[in-house]
Structure 1
Amino acid sequence: MSTVYAVDVQITAPVNDTEVTDRVADAVTNLFPGAEVEHSHGEIVATAHDMEEFSESLHRQEILDTARGAFFEDLRGDTFSFDLKKQAAFQGVVNFAVGDPSELGDIHVRVRVNDPDAESYIDHVAPPTKDGKPIDPDE
């Protein structure tokens, strides 16, 4: 039986004067295809209720350990957040932003886990690994 997760994902990204709003929206929906995107004064605000496609990208790119580090670094209670590079996202690639924000600004993702808990959801999205491969808890 699979666990049902109840999550709220809020995604924000600045839209600079030199950028096309639709391209910034595309960067968001490339990584979060089910997100509902709204344009608001100089930024994109999107909401989603799952991270399945994002999780698939993490598996495909083999960056589960990097993702787990980013998620746990800013875990506060039932919420965790992380930043992504906008240009990479436009190409459909997950690239976590660390350090100073890029010149164009980063995509900020905030995830609130309503059920069951944040740690379990992180394990679902980016499972622990051994030798770079996800660990199957049933083995």
Structure 2
Amino acid sequence: MIYRVEARIVAPVRDTEVTDRVEDAVRNLFPNVEFEHRDKELVGATHSLERFSERLHEQEILDTARREFAKRADEEGFSFSLKKQAAFKGTINFAVGNPDELGDIEVHVTVHEPDVDSYIDHVAPPTEEGKPIDFDEGER
């Protein structure tokens, strides 16, 4: 299966933060991101969520990820927010409720191929009794 996606990642940079450290936080979860520096924020783009998917599996939070993706999904893609402080440590922590004082990392994924549901299943497969149901295991 070929996946063609674009992820846009926006991370605020507060006056008390070092821009390079915010870059590192985002790269911990999205290592292939290419940044554009703007006033008080970093805007990045990547075409891969593979490392992010690996972390979801390692942290065993696939069901949580699927719920978060579904909250802000449409026919073109899905969005989610992450806690910046956790990302500094290479940990995924979805931001829910009020934004963190450092600001949250906003991620919007546009799926060109195949479709949104299939890509979500690829990044965060459905689970059964807490274990991923990997429909395309034979294709890897």
Aligned AA for 1:36?
A: E
TM-score by length of 2: 0.95
**TM-score of the two chains, using structure 1 as the length reference:** 0.96
Question: Equivalences for 1:20-39 in 2 at 5 Å?
Answer: 20-39=18-37
2:126 pairs with 125, 128, 135, which one?
Answer: 128
Of 2, 13, 29, the residue aligned with 2:11 is 13
Name the CA distance, whole Å, in 2 between partners of 1:38 and 1:24: 13
2:49 to 48, 51, 59: 51
Is 1:109 the counterpart of 2:107? The answer is yes
When residues 114 and 93 of structure 1 are mapped into structure 2, their CA distance, relative to the original with a 3 A threshold, is: same
Gap runs ≥5 in structure 1: none
What is residue 119 of structure 1 aligned with on the other side?
117
How many residues are aligned here?
137
Query: What is the rounded CA distance, in whole Å, between the counterparts of 1:88 and 1:125 in structure 2?
Result: 20
Q: Which residue does 1:81 correspond to in 2?
A: 79
Deviations along 1:14-48, one digit per CA (max 9) or x if unpaired, are 00111111111111111000111221110011100
Aligned CA RMSD, in angstroms, stands at: 1.2
> Measured at CA, do residues 138 and 30 of structure 1 come closer, stay the same or move farther in structure 2, by a change above 3 Å?
closer
Q: Identity over aligned residues, as a percent?
A: 63
- How has the CA–CA distance of structure 1 residues 138 and 93 changed in structure 2, closer, same or farther, with 3 Å as cutoff? closer
Change in Cα spacing, 1:138 to 1:22, as seen in structure 2 (3 Å) is: closer
